């Protein structure tokens, strides 16, 4: 059987396998869970033994999780604009947080607009695009989120170290902005009516500041905290552009000088645990819903995060920590229970996969690949790379066991994840691997769009789509 025919048959099977088929005039609901700045520190991926994510792990046990899922850009704005438009940063010119994505992406191309035009009730809440209140494209309704005046707990020393902010709160879970976002999404989930829904629930935590009620910090006693893997000489074989991205003399030097590395890790773990709690509330509501058997779940985080690996903090780099994320699908009738897919994938594939699973036409501008075959059978053949871009001309390709990085100035890195999953040894200078590097480089973009102009990305340029959202374009609270 040809590969093209195989993909067509798998896509058809995905639609027909739902308890209520498209032939009966009903389409599946979609619960689209977006998380901000959560890396791969979740229990089922085993990267950090200290983390506590029972609810995310529960979803993974009920569906299929990807062990090698990557963002298309390691920053909120370009990652979200790419995922929601189905276009790479190199196509749109949206490479960084400082840019306004709208001059490069017309709002009719956005995923939510596509679902809206094709008969879905499309609800959004919290952070889906970059910036408070940014609700690009069409929505049936949108809730920006709300929160009270969150109070720092008296036990906090201060608000962190330089730009790395972390501290416990004296506030309650109910006062957190994400709590209100989940409440609102649960209300939309429980609405009656036959029209299918697409609910995009955007959780801000664990985005900085790593600040949640103190009860979450208490679950991770400081004396028990283990630092992430780190080698002091890890940047010695990295080209100049990579060292610049790492910025070892910035955040990392400040954290070391302050002696608060373990406190920052504790705070990140606490904030992840709080995020998991809110996801649990959402999943509990879905389980109690009469529509649960006809609702697919897609969970993703916009990018990873570094906490000292390669002397780097934050996202904004092309290695494993800032690019790898948690990504889970639960599709009734298709995804097996508790299986994992080890193929590297990136988020450009989410848009076309959702179109396939819901029976919607695939827009012509969408660049990704339909993952339906590997959602149904994670061992099925998959020959597409995962690519991440950070700034024009800087790209990382994950394909098989390899990561290849090329910077705009020509600097290169190559890592073999089969023997070096922590990316300690740059093999780019090995002449025996020249053919491997050339094969990986063949996947890099052939053309790269010019940088879009700067902008605050808050919805002011281009407004709020066609005005179909009812929420106020203002968000209170911590973020």
Q: Is the pLDDT of residue 161 over 70?
A: yes
* Given 76, 185, 201, 355, the catalytic residue: 76
Give the tens place of pLDDT for each residue, 53-95: 999 999 999 999 999 999 999 999 999 999 999 999 999 999 9
Q: Is the pLDDT of residue 338 over 60?
A: yes
Stretch 325-352: mean pLDDT? 98
Q: What rounded mean pLDDT belongs to the chain? A: 91
**Banded pLDDT at 10 (limits 50, 70, 90):** very low
Per-residue pLDDT reduced to its tens digit, 275-292: 999 999 999 999 999 999
Say what the pLDDT of residue 431 is.
97
Q: What is the tens place of the pLDDT at every residue in 350-382?
A: 999 999 999 999 999 999 999 999 999 999 999
Residue 94 catalytic? Answer: no
What CATH number labels 27-396? 3.40.720.10
Q: Which of 44, 114, 130, 179 is catalytic?
A: 130
pLDDT of residue 458 exceeding 50, the answer is no
Task: Provide mean pLDDT across the span 25-34.
Answer: 92
Question: Is 10 an annotated catalytic residue?
Answer: no
pLDDT range class, residue 167, cuts 50, 70, 90: very high
Q: What percent of the chain has pLDDT over 90?
A: 86
Residue 25: what pLDDT? 55
Give the domain ranges of the chain.
27-396
Judged against a pLDDT cut of 50, whether residue 476 lies above it is answered with: no
Residues 6+ apart with CB under 8 A from 129: 77, 80, 81, 84, 101, 135, 136, 457, 459
Mean pLDDT score, 162-171: 98
> What pLDDT digit, counting tens, does each position of 391-439 carry?
999 999 999 999 999 999 999 999 999 999 999 999 999 999 999 999 9
Please state the rounded mean pLDDT for residues 426-453.
Answer: 97
Work out the pLDDT band at 132, boundaries 50, 70, 90: low
pLDDT at res. 133: 65
Distance (Å, whole) CA 105 – CA 77: 12
For 353, half-sphere exposure in the C-beta direction (CA atoms, 13 angstrom radius) is: 28
How high is the pLDDT of residue 145?
81
């Amino acid at each position: 059987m040809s590969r093209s025919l195989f993909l067509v048959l798998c896509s058809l099977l995905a639609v027909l396998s739902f308890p209520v088929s498209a032939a009966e005039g009903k389409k599946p609901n979609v619960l689209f869970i977006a998380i901000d700045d959560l890396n791969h520190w979740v229990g089922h991926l085993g990267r950090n033994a200290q983390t506590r994510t029972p609810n995310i792990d529960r979803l993974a046990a009920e569906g299929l999780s990807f062990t090698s899922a990557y963002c298309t850009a390691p920053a909120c704005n370009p990652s979200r604009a790419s995922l929601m438009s189905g276009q790479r940063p190199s196509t749109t010119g949206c490479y960084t947080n400082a840019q306004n994505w709208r001059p490069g992406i017309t709002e009719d191309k956005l995923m939510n607009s596509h679902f809206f035009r094709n008969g879905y009730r499309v609800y959004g809440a919290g952070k889906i695009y970059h910036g408070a209140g940014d609700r690009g494209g069409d929505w049936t309704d949108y809730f920006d989120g709300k929160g009270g005046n969150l109070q720092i707990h008296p036990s906090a020393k201060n608000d962190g170290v330089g730009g790395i902010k972390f501290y416990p709160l004296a506030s309650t879970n109910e006062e957190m902005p994400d709590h209100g976002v989940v409440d609102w999404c649960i209300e939309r989930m429980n609405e009656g009516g036959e029209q299918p829904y697409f609910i995009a629930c955007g959780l801000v935590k664990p985005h900085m500041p790593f600040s949640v009620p103190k009860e979450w910090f208490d679950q991770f006693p400081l004396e028990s905290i283990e630092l992430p893997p780190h080698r002091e000489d890890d940047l010695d074989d990295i080209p100049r552009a990579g060292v610049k991205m790492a910025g070892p003399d910035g955040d990392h030097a400040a954290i070391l000088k302050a002696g608060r590395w373990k406190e920052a890790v504790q705070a990140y773990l606490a904030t992840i645990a709080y995020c998991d709690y809110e996801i649990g509330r959402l999943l509990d509501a879905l389980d109690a819903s009469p529509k649960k058997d006809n609702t697919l779940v897609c969970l993703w985080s916009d990018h990873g995060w570094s906490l000292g690996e390669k002397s780097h903090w934050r996202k904004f780099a092309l290695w494993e920590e800032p690019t790898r994320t948690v990504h889970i699908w639960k599709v009734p009738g298709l995804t097996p229970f508790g299986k994992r897919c080890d193929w590297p994938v990136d988020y450009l594939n989410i848009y076309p996969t959702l179109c396939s699973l819901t029976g919607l036409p695939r827009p012509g501008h969408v660049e990704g690949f339909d993952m339906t075959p590997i959602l149904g059978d994670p061992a099925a053949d998959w020959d597409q790379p995962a690519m991440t871009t950070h700034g024009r001309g800087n790209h990382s390709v994950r394909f098989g066991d390899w990561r290849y990085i090329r910077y705009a100035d020509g600097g290169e890195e190559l890592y073999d994840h089969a023997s070096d999953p922590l990316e300690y040894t740059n093999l780019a200078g090995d002449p025996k691997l020249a053919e491997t590097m050339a094969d990986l480089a063949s996947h890099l973009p052939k053309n790269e769009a010019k940088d879009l102009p700067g902008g605050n990305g808050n919805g002011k340029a281009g407004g709020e789509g066609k005005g179909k959202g009812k929420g106020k374009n203002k968000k209170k609270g911590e973020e």
